[in-house]
Structure 1
């Protein structure tokens, strides 16, 4: 049995983010193999960050928005269900692939009695991700109807099984593209004997789960005795005002820069010396993979999820206990002070491209779809 000839990929949007990137990669892969692919987003079709092949059918429902009251929420989700069902019906897919909790629930409700199997994907920890009581109840009621569930790391498999019962659960970590640019090791310092800045970088949505508040607290300890250290955080989100206030309170305005969303982060990654992941929990951290692919060593919390699957302690980075700001600061400081150790870790970092290759990612996804495709 092969991958069906017609497929629908459904996600909330194709703006910046790991889930959105993987959805676009999959759609382009299947289109490149001659399948008829429709990509449906709950948001608008314009303003996509990740490009799609020209032969992919692109449908944007334009139905993402804030619901000020529960009544508005019910009405808006009813509209989304009707529009989503019609878009999927017109696509006539052999299999629907859906991404992220709220979209998964809506797709499973919208496809009732349409006769097409739905493979759902969870990009966040089922145990740690905060879910409101309504969506938690809907997830329990709808997830057992899926044809199968994809999770990003082995640690989530058991909690996924509890949600979907006898349905298959596949572990498929995110993949990383080989970068266009690579970091040059051991860049010389500036002329005149001045000390070269030590550049720490991190990126992700400015949201509580990414733990940038803990990164700032750790960096304040590092910077206290190392005025040449700099921190750049790429990304945007709801936590930005709070993080800006924290930067001012810690007197780090001259050493920390919130750079906002960056279309091509590679150029900034290759100019850095160290990548730090400070998340409270992760799935299969794409930003971490991308940084290491560029040749950056990493310091990461050993947080629930997939960080330890990516960072090999004392091989290509350092893992510290989750949430331990003191240990995070110590690890960053050690690598800032020891360029030989840092470059030894950096020399192995780019192996992440082989360990999380696109080829293996596509092979596992194709096998999952072949398993549930109608005969």
Structure 2
């Protein structure tokens, strides 16, 4: 099997992590895997199997006006089309909305089945009017469209839904440490993880933690991740009197080392796709609290069994849930004992089996279509 996988970049992020896992999995199976990115050559955030052909296309240019934007996208499409042709794939898989659109345009007429995947909440992730119209026009060209949740699929019109299927993210077992890790967190530690952007709701988390700081002075909060709102969050932290209680450590190479030393994991997102960070925390046996935001957490957490869901964007409810677990060690242990079951429900073999079944379907369908067309031509001759 020859596959070409396409994503904008391999920087820190959930979609990037998933596509890296997929590429490595299939390369280990002996498949010929090419991974194309729009960004210029740089070290990938996630390790790739040396058998994966990683090809950065260097087509991620900024456009200062509409005319330049059209020209840049025309060039992107041509370069991307050539790269796909040169990789000779049996099928193409593309991640993320704008990358999906350009991939579908680049493959028109190539007779290669293209699977595109939405990785965010489409109701919340704004594309802008022009890109939304292009998505509506191009998505029917896809052989299949992969969504992570039923809610994300239902956002789209019936024509798109008819080609859609739901495949959640895989959850990997945490790596086994070869030696004991140094102490990275203080005793009694809350932890959160994600890009420092509005969608992740870390401002809500800081406000919730501020309500508890005087009652539980021994507890601290550590946030892993980097992003555009770092300075805003640091300012808010200081304004709330949390400068010595909240640590923004940036992106880390091995978050599992931190997760295994924490006491409680908190996800405060306003919206999600299918949050890897939540799954990873549960895989490490952490009791988890999450906002019941659109998409993701409700499909992962069994409320009251292996985690706690709280109303979305409700600071008081989030603070109350944190207080509940801080003050009840027995409940923390009960939730933590069931949390690792997430690795059984979304294990790697099961999820990759769903992808492989989908690939078999689209490749078989395109071959049958070609045979039918040839039969019609021969009949007419």
Superposition TM-score, scaled by structure 2 size: 0.91
Report the number of matched residues.
357
What SS is found at the alignment partner of 1:222?
coil
**Superposition pairs for residues 176-215 of structure 1, below 5 Å?**
176-181=171-176, 197-215=187-205
Confirm whether residue 9 of structure 1 aligns to residue 8 of structure 2: no
* Residue 166 (structure 2) aligns with: 171
CA contact (8 A) 2:153 2:161 kept: no
* Residue 317 (structure 1) aligns with: 307
CA contact (8 A) 2:154 2:161 kept: no
The unaligned stretches of length 5 or more in structure 2 are: 178-185, 368-381
Confirm whether residue 32 of structure 1 aligns to residue 28 of structure 2: yes
CA distance in 2, matches of 1:181, 1:267: 10
The unaligned stretches of length 5 or more in structure 1 are: 183-195
CA distance in 2, matches of 1:163, 1:12: 26
Q: CA deviation at 1:344?
A: 1.1
Q: Cα RMSD over matched residues?
A: 1.5
4+ long deviations beyond 3 Å: 160-163
Confirm whether residue 233 of structure 1 aligns to residue 223 of structure 2: yes
* Residue 236 (structure 2) aligns with: 246
CA distance in 1, matches of 2:301, 2:161: 32
CA distance in 1, matches of 2:158, 2:13: 27
CA distance in 2, matches of 1:160, 1:371: 22
CA contact (8 A) 1:81 1:110 kept: yes
Superposed CA deviations along residues 271-303 of structure 1, whole A, max 9, x for unmatched, are 100000111111211000001101101001111
CA contact (8 A) 2:34 2:55 kept: yes
CA distance in 1, matches of 2:162, 2:325: 47
CA distance in 2, matches of 1:238, 1:270: 27
Q: Larger RCO: Structure 1 or Structure 2 (Cα < 8 Å, ≥ 6 residues apart)?
A: 1
CA distance in 2, matches of 1:26, 1:73: 31
CA distance in 2, matches of 1:139, 1:256: 41
* Residue 187 (structure 1) aligns with: none
- From the superposition, tell whether residues 224 and 25 of structure 1 become closer, same or farther in structure 2 (CA, over 3 Å): same
CA distance in 1, matches of 2:315, 2:149: 25
CA distance in 2, matches of 1:364, 1:316: 25
Q: CA deviation at 1:163?
A: 5.8
* Residue 284 (structure 2) aligns with: 294
Superposition TM-score, scaled by structure 1 size: 0.92
